[in-house]
Amino acid sequence: MTNNTDTTDLTLVLAATGKTGRRVADRLTALGVPVRRGSRSAEIPFDWDAPATWAPALDGVTSVYLVFSPDLAVPGAPEAIRGFTDAAVAAGVRRIVLLSGRGEDEAQACERIVQDSGLEWTIVRAAWFAQNFSEDYLLDPVRGGEVVLPAGDVPEPFVDIDDLADVAVAALTEDRHAGQVYEVTGPRALTFAEAVDEIAKATGREIAYVQVPVDAYAAVLKEHGLPDDVTEFLSYLFGTILDGRNSRPQDGVQRALGREPNDFADYAHTTAATGVWNT
């Protein structure tokens, strides 16, 4: 294994206060790699909506963990990714690891911008995160004992983002991942109902899964005051992307790390032990 990171390298980790960025930044720090944590509230702030923040955040940086917020599939993402990669080239960045999503034409268009940037690149193309159930919008429903979603019998190979972060860190610190597209998934596809069932088993609690039509789901989100763009994006994810195109598990974790990815049941047991799902 070649590790070409030396102590003069500085890695900018975007979305460093988020689910994957925090893990990537913590792992790099533990390895002794100097990290600049990208966030709108950082000392040197980084804001996708304020391009003037990009060059200061990139100053002195050699590698970037590139996470676009909220998602590469939203309008304006390609322009932002192009502007950011241009700024990265101008700043002397050598390596970019892009977090992308599976089965989204818009995200794959952004991947091509990174691939054509002239920078050394790795794409980490991720399945739905298992941690959406414990660190994001599905946490409260799990705690409340009822998960209501417009997802039926289409299975998804949820990825444990501890695996995703291991892959991203390997790509940021080892030369052999340059030019690789890693589709990172779990080893097994589960329906959302089956995923909730695994969590119920791991916690010893009853958690109901209720499937609703996409339109009804969008109406409820709107009623709860979610912004239109968030409602539209979630409807797009469940109504368009979750159609079976991403159901087959892929070998990205195995190829990048030489080991199998964590199973959803392992994630559920480990997470249940933290008490996060206790009511």
Ligand X SMILES: NC(=O)c1ccc[n+]([C@@H]2O[C@H](COP(=O)([O-])OP(=O)(O)OC[C@H]3O[C@@H](n4cnc5c(N)ncnc54)[C@H](OP(=O)(O)O)[C@@H]3O)[C@@H](O)[C@H]2O)c1
Work out whether 5 is an interface residue with ligand X (CB under 6 A): no
Least CB distance to ligand X at residue 161 (A)? 7
**CA dist., res. 240 & res. 214, Å (int):** 10
Please choose, out of 40-48, 198-206, 244-252, 270-278, the segment that lies near ligand X by the rule CB under 6 A.
Answer: 40-48
Q: Which range in 16-24, 27-35, 149-157, 192-200 contacts ligand X by CB under 6 A?
A: 16-24
Closest by alpha carbon to 134, among 230, 203, 224, 73?
Answer: 203
Sign of the CA dihedral with 167 first, then 96, 247, and 76 last? positive
Do residues 66 and 99 make contact, with C-beta atoms less than 8 angstroms apart?
Answer: yes
Question: How many CA atoms lie within 13 Å of 76's alpha carbon, on the beta-carbon side?
Answer: 8
Residue 18 found at the interface with ligand X (CB under 6 A): yes
Q: How far apart are CA 133 and CA 150, in angstroms?
A: 15
Nearer to ligand X by Cβ, of 43 and 206: the residue is 43
The reply on whether position 246 binds ligand X by CB under 6 A is: no
Q: Rounded to the nearest whole angstrom, what is the least distance from the CB of residue 109 to ligand X in the complex?
A: 14
Q: Should residue 189 be labelled a site residue for ligand X when binding is judged by CB under 6 A? A: no
In the list 10, 34, 60, 71, the residue contacting ligand X (rule: CB under 6 A) is 71
207 binds ligand X (CB under 6 A): no
Least CB distance from residue 14 to ligand X, whole Å?
6
First-to-last C-alpha distance (Å) of the chain:
44
Q: Is 39 in the site for ligand X (CB under 6 A)?
A: yes
Of 40 and 176, which has the nearer Cβ to ligand X?
Answer: 40
Smallest separation, CB 136 to ligand X (Å): 6
Residue selected from 13, 15, 80, 147 as contacting ligand X according to rule CB under 6 A: 15
Of the pair 181, 205, the CB lying nearest ligand X is at 181
Binding to ligand X in span 83-142, by CB under 6 A: 99, 101, 126, 128-129, 132
Residues that bind ligand X (CB under 6 A): 15, 17-21, 39-41, 46-49, 67-69, 71-72, 99, 101, 126, 128-129, 132
